[in-house]
Chains A and B, each alone.
Chain A
Amino acid sequence: MFSLFLEQLLNSLQSGLMLFLMASGLTLVFGVMGLINLAHGSLYMVGAFACAAVAAWTGSFWLGLVASLMAAALAGVLVEMFIIRRLYNRDHLDQVLATFALILVFSEGTRWIFGSFPLFLSVPDILTGTVILPGALEYPIFRLAIIIAGLLVAVGLFLLIGKTRLGVRIRAGEADRGMIAALGVNIDRLYTVVFALGAALAGLAGAFVGTTQSVQVGMGEPVLILAFVVIVIGGIGSIKGALIGSLLVGFTDTMGRFLLPHAFATFLDPSSATAIGSALASMLIYIVMALVLFLRPSGLFGTEA
């Protein structure tokens, strides 16, 4: 039981960190440009498909990983320069619709190019196999590697935002875009860079998660909605909120699915315990979100409603 629990704990951490890669880009784009981007999930999908295609073509997962970063960032730059840029001064309704339209274009375009069948990514040789963790738990090395990579990216992002010149500009952009434009910062280029950064992080998450599951059209949408829940809980625009929210959602979701059926089994027969437990587990993160909002309508680290 302990090793099972530890395994679920690690899985929670992994899903939380992958969510953070998605949510950090969304929250940055909202915080700096005031844009709600539904097509963020499409960039995740682009990353996964680029990784799968390049890995299949060259035989190297590592080249695939580089490709996922570059393809998602490139898609982000193009979309930002040709479409998203026109939406910054529009109301949220126009942003929702235009980015919903982008999802249709991305999903249908990907289906056109790659077909409807899922692609599979294989784990590189060096990361196959399992490690033995305390409690005699055999845990796949690749999942452990994803956790470490996710942690590294999270630390890197915090350093980028907190310690570099670009980070200063991003934070200044969140505080007052008019002022930093007046101080001579090329605001158009800053927006493109922020959007591309968010896109690259989403693409990287897509490649990681695509390796543990499968790569298919529409894979970005469930993750996108979880990322929305994350940034609503954490407070829109806050990177720290995105991290706390991601971990909270990752743990609540994974542990809920694991523990609730067991909890109901103590006083119900097994089949209805599984049914009720899993139905309730699927709703749990939304209940947590409603509770957080009830107590703090602008999220845990949000500044304004």
Chain B
Amino acid sequence: MTMNRETLINTILAVAFVAVPVIAMGMNEPFIITLATKVAIFAMAGVGLNLVLGFGGLVSFGHAAFFGIGGYAAGILASHALNYEPIMESPFLIEGTTQMIVIWIVALIVSALVALAIGAITLRTSGVYFIMITLAFAQMIYYFAISWPAYGGEDGLSIYVRNGFPGLNTLDPISFFALCAVMLGIVMLFSAILIRSRFGLALQGARQNPQRMTAVGIAPFRIRLVAFVISAMITALAGALYADLNRFVSPTMLSWHMSGEIMIFVILGGVGRLFGPLAGAALYIILEHLLGSVWEFWQLPLGVLLLIVVLFARGGLVGVLAGERKHA
């Protein structure tokens, strides 16, 4: 592979992403490590959304649903384990757990099932209908979480001790960062392989010309549904990590602002680019931190900046730096 400007920028991004928390550890600044962990997790949620949004051309405005499902998988399983209450006793015993690996598997399975149901209905529509209906289904889950009292309702659910991972002290900030960063790396690698595979090409083909895809014998609906499910699973994994980062999960993770933010990570960085979500999440967190420390109403300049990016800088951060338009 030749070293074009985008590859160079991606390399610099990856190096900075790992170097900043390591330097912060040396300077004993755990808060910066936490910010970097947040970047890793948001980037992972963005990688999930980018799969359908960037490569599939499907504007899902409801990915907070999957982010929140991942979060609640962590919260609910941990709360049952910590209270020694089994989730179910008959017909067979299911107990809670504080093992991240088990939590992740549950998050992946539940989000896949929910995405299958939502995708089967929403993917029958397209364009503006798809945007509004994905939003509406996410709101449905949001209101359900608020009005269902068993797991905290509107107040949310605390995870008193961060869940564990074999051979790792997850309470140590740099260890938890390393875990999140490695997971992000795996997800990005998986995503890169997936979009270059036959399946990924078919997905991009279905975006560019669905009629031709149908003509060559590939049903766009099925390809899109599988992509939607995989995308939801990646975002749910990020949600499980986010709940563990905050040791707290609440309906806020399911709210439509969250869907909008995940979309912003993807757009700020550059739609349909592998490193776009990482660049976007990093930029968002840096802006939030810098603007937020100067002015209480930091979302106002953020909104203005986002408007400028949408109206004038359409390739996102990576696109502007790489100096080339990519037709996504």
Residues of A within 8 A of B (CB): 30, 36, 83, 86, 92-94, 96-98, 100-105, 107-109, 111-112, 221, 225, 228-229, 231-232, 236, 275, 278-279, 281-283, 286-287, 289-290, 293-294, 297-299, 305
Contact = CB atoms under 8 A, between A and B. Distances in A.
Contacts of B146: 282
A280 to B, nearest CB: 9
Interface stretch (B7-15, B158-166, B186-194, B300-308): B300-308
28 contacts: A36-B128, A92-B127, A92-B128, A97-B267, A97-B306, A98-B311, A101-B310, A102-B307, A104-B302, A107-B299, A111-B297, A112-B297, A112-B300, A225-B139, A228-B135, A232-B136, A236-B128, A275-B147, A278-B147, A279-B144, A279-B148, A283-B144, A286-B136, A286-B139, A293-B129, A294-B124, A297-B129, A305-B129
B290 interface: no
Contacts of B131: 36, 92, 96
B133 A96 contact: no
Query: Secondary structure at chain B's binding surface: helix, strand, loop or mixed?
Result: helix
B59 interface: yes
Contact of A105 (B139, B144, B300, B311): B300
B149 A293 contact: no
B136 A104 contact: no
B114 interface: no
Given A101-B310, A232-B136, 18 more contacts: A92-B128, A97-B306, A98-B307, A98-B310, A100-B306, A102-B303, A104-B302, A104-B303, A105-B300, A105-B307, A107-B299, A232-B132, A232-B133, A236-B128, A283-B144, A287-B140, A290-B137, A293-B124
B12 to A, nearest CB: 26
Nearest to B303: A104
Contacts of B314: 94
A229 B126 CA distance: 15
Contact of B125 (A30, A97, A98, A305): A305
B17 interface: no
B147 A100 contact: no
* Most chain B CB inside 10 Å of its own CB: which residue of A83, A228, A278: A228
A108 to B, nearest CB: 4
B307 A293 contact: no
B263 interface: yes
B311 A289 contact: no
Interface string B43-54: 000000000010
A95 to B, nearest CB: 9
